[in-house]
Chain A
């Protein structure tokens, strides 16, 4: 159909787009090894000394611990609420179902600044002090959406006859859940949890409004870049964060491709 010239043109375009997507990421990783603390290109020499100094930076450590804690708790809440929502809404038509689906995706569809502001003024309204718990509430709200979407997509692809077969063969509800439903959705849960974790770990916009005086890792990075302080350490943190967020997403992608004991087609 396409002429050879068109094919070649499209191929070149695709290669260029991939380069466009990855060159900035490669550059930031190179900067992490920059021996000078002046951020100019080309880097003046190769060193790993900033990795050690970043590791011993107390602020970075505290921010990392806070980020990990918040992401873990938010992901756990999201797993419970997201899968409960998905089970309730799937295979069950009722009045207001579409509205509920719409409400569940709202935190992702609305600009983050609106979610952040809304939560900020709401916490203020009740007189709640901003703490790790307010960060978690903000993160969990959009993490629920990720888990919900993953689980409901899997449930839609799963044939209900599997559960019926299990019950016909004499299994009770718990056994059916344990041996049929759970294995079917387990990879969707894991991939949803991984994505939720990555999203929470990286979130800045909502977090600036819910964190108060404390720093999560992204907030620490944002503050340092804005003030132009400790940039060599920022480079290291940023390079490490890229690795830390990319790995769970890569795993999640692999998990959602194969759907446990059920393969479609």
Chain B
């Protein structure tokens, strides 16, 4: 009886093992079973949605019935390029995104250098967590905090008054947006720059010193060029995230601080003109496309 059960169990056990081994050895077999679900999700929901969006930018909305009219035209794009207000908004968005990227790079480089080269392993681990946590701590909360800080009766003006300095009225302005964006995206810049700096071998810096280079010369000729891919990698985040944002402009920007995102948002939500919103959303998409191509040339993807 026992022997019978054994022999009966044997072939199925062997078959199971053969099957497992086949799955392990042949990647395509595993892929055939595992890839379709996530791929279908992305293809059917996400990629198709993106394609529909791009297509709808060539459609228009009937002004009287507010129905979508599927006739192909370039009216939305003509409007974006000819009406000066949309050009102003696009230039403001891209300009502030660039300013934020540069500011974050300037803040991040010395910090990352200290973290990667001077800090003890324990301090380094602690700094890493300290940078990571704000990144995930609610984005809205951090923007709102700055709204309170920069307000007329806020912490900033109170501090200035205590120091006997004149108060400032930068709440609800482009300055406020610049500060807040630089604040919220800073960790995205620090982490890749730190990763790049950590990979610079000590011997390079020693060699530079041995050859008589002073601190600044070593920084300029060794550290910065080797950290550059990391800086570009960080700039992808700071630039893209600023480009697509409309929450911060709404909360801390002024009446004349509209971003591309605000126009897109109100076109969808208030005016119910999806084709125009889609056409305008192509602007950050195109800018990011070019940016990513340049970034890849500069080796940013290996540094991420």
Residues of A within 8 A of B (CB): 1-3, 6-7, 9-11, 13-14, 17-18, 20-22, 24-25, 27-28, 31, 39-42, 80-82, 84-85, 87-89, 91-94, 100, 103-104, 106-107, 109-115, 117-122, 124-125, 137, 140-141, 144, 148, 163-164, 167, 170, 172-174, 176, 195, 198-199, 202, 204-205, 208-209, 218, 221-222, 225-226, 234, 238-239, 241-242, 245-246, 249-250, 253
Contact = CB atoms under 8 A, between A and B. Distances in A.
B139 A13 contact: no
Given A121-B52, A221-B140, A85 B247 contact: no
A4 to B, nearest CB: 11
B39 A198 contact: no
B38 interface: yes
Nearest to B41: A81
A41 B137 contact: no
19 contacts: A7-B118, A11-B114, A21-B134, A24-B145, A28-B145, A31-B148, A84-B34, A100-B39, A104-B42, A114-B281, A117-B278, A164-B24, A167-B24, A173-B19, A174-B16, A218-B138, A222-B247, A225-B144, A234-B144
Q: Which 10 A-B pairs have the closest CB atoms?
A: A111-B244, A92-B27, A173-B20, A40-B153, A122-B49, A88-B34, A24-B145, A85-B38, A118-B49, A81-B38
A120 B49 CA distance: 8
Contacts of B3: none
Contacts of B137: 25, 242, 245-246, 249
Nearest to A11: B114
Contact of B146 (A10, A24, A118): A24
Contact of A41 (B19, B147, B154, B260): B154
A13 B110 CA distance: 7
A32 B186 CA distance: 25
B107 A121 contact: no
B148 A28 contact: yes
A1 to B, nearest CB: 6
Contacts of A3: 215
Most chain A beta-carbon neighbours within 10 Å: one of B37, B38, B52? B38
Contacts of A204: 139-140, 247
A21 B131 contact: yes
B155 A27 contact: yes
Interface stretch (B71-79, B82-90, B261-269): B261-269
B136 A245 contact: yes
Given A18-B127, A92-B28, A225 B42 contact: no
